[in-house]
Structure 1
Amino acid sequence: MPEILKVKPTRMELLKLKKRIKLAAKGHKLLKEKQDALIMEFFTIYDEALSLRRELNQKMEEAFESLRMAEIEVSVTKLKEIALGVRPNKEVEIKRRNIMGVPVPLIEAESFKRTPEERGYSFVSTSPRVDIVAQKFEEVLELAVRLAEVEETLQRLAREIEKTKRRVNALEYIIIPRMEATVKFIEQRLDEMERENFFRLKRVKALLEARQED
């Protein structure tokens, strides 16, 4: 049996508890709906993460294969020289957006795909193979940034789902049962007090009637 709250067994407390139970039940319903919506959103994004992870793995294989071919055609030393002259990518900007009240990252960046001139080397002075390598790794970088955003979103949603689940369970299995048990206790105590008052009044009435007869 659930524990009861430490309150005075009065009608005022009884009314207060009944109101609190209604509010708690409403809160439980809203939290349960939020939990269900969060779980649906989580699995939608989870499917996207799996798809991105598969695509990223494929792109990385392609990128490293193209690098291997470029090393054969151009030489490792020449590739290192070209790499030293490549301009860095523009910085990404991390903002926030909300999913069901949960702040999640939103990574904004211009396309990582660039021309040879934008990268900092001349297309004429290098092999087309080098440009292919650059394109492949730019695709990898673009996917990696997107996947980082999605996976961080999943982690935050998972934490919020667990937090909401604890609150739902606390209301369902602890808080509401305790209040309901307390309501039952107060009602029983008030019934006992009414019976005691009834018998007390009956005794007083009997004594008064006995005195009047004397």
Structure 2
Amino acid sequence: MAELLNVKPTRMELLNLKRRITLAKKGHKLLKDKQDALIMEFFTIYDEALSLREELNKKMESAFDALLNAQLETGTLRLKEAALSVKPNHEIEIKQRNVMGVSVPLIEAESFRRNVQERGYSFVSTDPSVDLVAEKFEEVLDLVVRLAEVEETLKRLAKEIETTKRRVNALEYIIIPRMEATVKFIKQRLDEMERENFFRLKRVKALIEARSQGGA
């Protein structure tokens, strides 16, 4: 049996509890709908994350193959010199956006892809293989930024789903059953009190009639 609320068994409390149950059931439905929508959104983004992760793995493999080839063709020393000459990238700005009521990151950054002149190293003293390495790793960086945004979004959605689930379960299995059990108890207690009053009035009436007949 569900635990009862600590309230007085009065008609006022009965009406109040009935209103609270109605509100709780509406709240439960809204939270359940929110939970279902969050789960659908989560798996949509999850599929995107898997796709991005798979693409990133392939691009990283291709980038490291190009790096190895550049080391063989250009030499490690000249490759390091070119790397140290690369100009810094533009700053990344992290904002927030709303997904199903959840604040998730929105990463704004220009593409890391550049042409040879923009990179900073001397394309005259380097081999074309260096350009290929730069291009490959720029593609990797673009994907890393996007994947970071998507995976952080997944983490926050998962946390919100868990929080919403706990609220749904609390309403469904604890709060609403407790209020309904209390309503049932109050009804039974009010019925008992009504029966007691009825029998009390009946006895009083019988006593009054008996006295009036005795007096006659």
TM-score (normalised: structure 2) = 0.98
Tell me the residue number matched to 1:34: 34
State how far apart, in whole Å, the 1-side matches of 2:92 and 2:198 are: 79
1:180 paired to 2:180: yes
SS for the counterpart of 1:110 is coil
State how far apart, in whole Å, the 1-side matches of 2:51 and 2:82 are: 33
Tell me the residue number matched to 2:166: 166
Q: CA deviation at 1:191?
A: 0.2
Cα pair 2:4 2:181 within 8 Å, conserved: yes
Superposed counterparts of 1:61-72, under 5 Å: 61-72=61-72
Tell me the residue number matched to 1:88: 88
Cα-to-partner distance string for 1:164-214 (whole Å, 9 max, x where unaligned): 000000000000000000000000000000000000000000000011011
> What value does the CA root-mean-square deviation take over the aligned residues?
0.6
Cα pair 2:105 2:149 within 8 Å, conserved: yes
Letter of the 1:202 counterpart: K
Q: CA deviation at 1:51?
A: 0.3
State how far apart, in whole Å, the 2-side matches of 1:10 and 1:207 are: 30
Tell me the residue number matched to 2:135: 135
Runs of 4+ aligned residues of structure 1 deviating over 3 Å after TM superposition are none
Q: CA deviation at 1:39?
A: 0.1
State how far apart, in whole Å, the 2-side matches of 1:51 and 1:113 are: 21
State how far apart, in whole Å, the 1-side matches of 2:124 and 2:187 are: 91
State how far apart, in whole Å, the 2-side matches of 1:151 and 1:7 are: 47
State how far apart, in whole Å, the 2-side matches of 1:122 and 1:39 are: 51
Cα-to-partner distance string for 1:16-38 (whole Å, 9 max, x where unaligned): 00000000000000000000000
Cα-to-partner distance string for 1:4-55 (whole Å, 9 max, x where unaligned): 1010000000000000000000000000000000000000000000000000
Q: CA deviation at 1:124?
A: 2.6
Tell me the residue number matched to 1:113: 113
TM-score (normalised: structure 1) = 0.99
Seq. identity, %: 78
State how far apart, in whole Å, the 2-side matches of 1:144 and 1:86 are: 19
State how far apart, in whole Å, the 2-side matches of 1:83 and 1:184 are: 77
Q: CA deviation at 1:120?
A: 0.5
Task: List alignment gaps of at least 5 residues for structure 1.
Answer: none
Greater shift, 53-62 or 119-128, is seen at 119-128
State how far apart, in whole Å, the 2-side matches of 1:119 and 1:6 are: 72
State how far apart, in whole Å, the 2-side matches of 1:85 and 1:104 are: 35
State how far apart, in whole Å, the 2-side matches of 1:29 and 1:87 are: 55
